[in-house]
Structure 1
Amino acid sequence: MAKYNVENENVEVRLERLFKVEPELLYQAWTDERILKQWFMTTERTNKSIQITPEQNGSYKIVDVRKGKENIVQGSYVTLTPYEYVVMTIGMPELSDSEDTIEVEVFERESGITQMIFNYTAFVPRERRLTTLEYKQKKKEYHDSTAHGFEMMFDQLQHVLETFEADL
């Protein structure tokens, strides 16, 4: 039995949500700069800049400023299937060298109602000083706070999409 056996595990968050929009618009929310800067890890008020190349192996970089602190969120688009599927990475270089993975499935449930299945996978390293129970608790807290954060962003996304659709 290894004395310092360290198990690193991923935390997975799965959320399902219905939106009162067409699938094309929900897909655009993940790939269109005009929509993305209003809800994804930023707001129109706090967004300092956004650069996005919405294509396979393209990248994005968001600079958000809150209370005078600049936060950078960046990643790449791994897979894009128009109006159906997005796989992208997400990282915050000031906090970690690692990137997490976001997977989004979009499909029409009925006319004007689109379902989004959202999967987020994050690597949570196990620190040697933590017992197994402490590590499991750390992962649970990470899961719960991450899920809550994305739920709040999706509330904002619904509002943004309703406003965006009304302006079309």
Structure 2
Amino acid sequence: MAKYNVENENVEIRLERLFKVEPELLYQAWTDQRFLKQWFMTTARTNKSIQVNTEQNGSYEIIDARNGKQNVIKGAFITLTPYEYIVMTIGMPELSDSEDTIEVEIFEREPGITQMIFNYIALVPRERRYTTLEYKQKKKEYHDSTAHGFETMFDKLQLTLEEFEAGL
């Protein structure tokens, strides 16, 4: 018997970015552990371990250490269309049993300019103690703080790509 809570709702975040790189390099930044350990949920300085299997249904695990605490980030690559499209899951097992979904569309706008459309879908459970208004506020806070976190991460992605292009 399926078990579900009709009060649970998704938070969806959609971000768009332009990068001054070819689509192949942006795709590589999402699938190559040499790039991922510099910007995706970690940094080269705080990354303790990264394992990436970029095959269809392959998985990844990142261990990041900050302020004396280790964070484990795990997920799977659900769909990989080279240089165009990625669907992956992301979860933090210490915080939740659920996984969120990331969808990345990559396409060339003009030579040397690539557009990324990023979609993130997360389940934010409604706790009984929250009124409808409190729950909506909690979802908005989650949306805003998560969107800000991804924007910051994409700033780091931009720097990582610029450094790679410059040969640093």
Q: TM-score, normalised by structure 1?
A: 0.96
**Equivalents in 1 of 2:68, 2:7: separation in Å?**
38
Counterpart check, 1:141 vs 2:141: yes
Distance in 1 separating the partners of 2:165 and 2:50: 21
Displaced runs of 4+ in structure 1, greater than 4 A?
A: none
The letter of the residue matching 2:65 is V
1:11-56 CA distances to partner (integer Å, 9 max, x unpaired)?
0000000001100000011100100000000000000000000110
Quick one: percent identity of the two aligned structures? 82
Distance 1:57 1:125 in 2: 26
RMSD: 1.1
Within 5 Å, give how 1:7-156 maps onto structure 2. 7-156=7-156
| CA-CA distance at 1:158 after TM superposition | 0.2
Other structure's SS at 2:158 match: helix
Provide the rounded CA distance (Å) in 2 between the counterparts of 1:31 and 1:56.
11
C-alpha distance after superposition, 1:105-136 (max 9, x if no partner) = 00000011000000000000000010000000
TM-score, structure 2 length as denominator? Answer: 0.96
Q: Quote the Cα distance in structure 2 between the aligned partners of 1:45 and 1:136.
A: 36
On the 8 A contact 1:6/1:128 being kept in 2, the answer is no
CA distance in 2, matches of 1:28, 1:35: 7
CA displacement at 1:7 relative to structure 2: 1.3
Instruction: Determine the C-alpha separation between the residues in 2 that align with 1:165 and 1:39.
Output: 16
Contact kept? 1:76, 1:88, Cα under 8 Å? yes
Structure 1 unmatched runs, 5+: none
Distance between the aligned counterparts of 2:14 and 2:70, measured in 1? 29
Q: Which runs of 5+ in 2 are unaligned?
A: none
Instruction: Give 1:167 deviation, angstroms.
Output: 1.8
Residue 6 (structure 1) shift: 5.3
Q: Distance in 2 between matches of 1:59 and 1:143?
A: 26
